[in-house]
Amino acid sequence: GAVVSQHPSWVICKSGTSVKIECRSLDFQATTMFWYRQFPKQSLMLMATSNEGSKATYEQGVEKDKFLINHASLTLSTLTVTSAHPEDSSFYICSAREITGEYEKLFFGSGTQLSVL
Amino acid sequence: AQKVTQAQTEISVVEKEDVTLDCVYETRDTTYYLFWYKQPPSGELVFLIRRNSFDEQNEISGRYSWNFQKSTSSFNFTITASQVVDSAVYFCALSDGNYGQNFVFGPGTRLSVLP
């Protein structure tokens, strides 16, 4: 079945540094990818929708200058947390949408645990 | 607006007990999709089932079964003869018919299966 690879699985960084998270669809082309954030013991909240070749669409309350999304190819979307601060520490999950005919599926990456010191 | 409610925040059962996780959804769309995902402690999301709004047939997959009732806007999930490995957070999710552009997760239910 389709696989979405997300790297890194976890990252620890110092406050003020930037962190890039990659999301790759391994065996299908994903014109649309989604980025979610999950705080401990909470649900997944959509941060932004990433469309290949165009600007990402951010959900209300998500700072687009803080969370830079690039979807330069049909198989890769990246999320860069710029000038990370401890409050950015969270679990980030991406998903990629596969459309085959009238059937649509979402496949999720394994997530990235970000800890900002 | 779409909304998913999972009223049970945490459930604890003893191994071999049956357990039902509730999911109630709200949508104005006539075409929509419902999902269940499992999130074990490792964090990844494991797809369990997808059901479209036109298919109200109940489904059984091994120890898992799902009861879709449009009349009550519910899509409940039952685990029969629960096992310790079933311990996880379970999310119900709703997507509209527009190729999943709007995908909403419920708050999740944390299931602990005790030996």
**B45, B52, B92, B105, best to mutate vs chain A, most A CBs in 10 Å:** B45
- Residue B100: the pLDDT is 53
- CB of B106 within 8 Å of a chain A CB? The answer is yes
Match 């109200």 to its residue by tokens.
B56
Q: Which residue of chain A is at minimal alpha-carbon distance from B4?
A: A43
- Residue B31: the pLDDT is 87
Cβ within 8 Å of residue B34, ≥6 positions away: B23, B25, B50, B51, B52, B53, B68, B75, B92, B93, B94, B95
- Residue B56: the pLDDT is 84
Q: Cβ(A116)–Cβ(A88) under 8 Å?
A: yes
Chain-wide mean pLDDT for chain A? 90
Chain B environment of A31 (Cβ under 8 Å): none
- CB of B8 within 8 Å of a chain A CB? The answer is no
Is the predicted pLDDT of residue B74 greater than 80, yes or no?
Answer: yes
The size of chain B, in residues, is: 115
Number of helices (H) and strands (E), helices first, in chain A?
0, 11
Using DSSP's 3-state secondary structure scheme, residue A21 falls into strand
How far is C-alpha A51 from the chain's CA centre?
12
A2-13 per-position pLDDT tens digit: 689 999 999 999
**Region A74-100: what's the mean pLDDT?**
92
Is the predicted pLDDT of residue B50 greater than 90, yes or no?
Answer: no
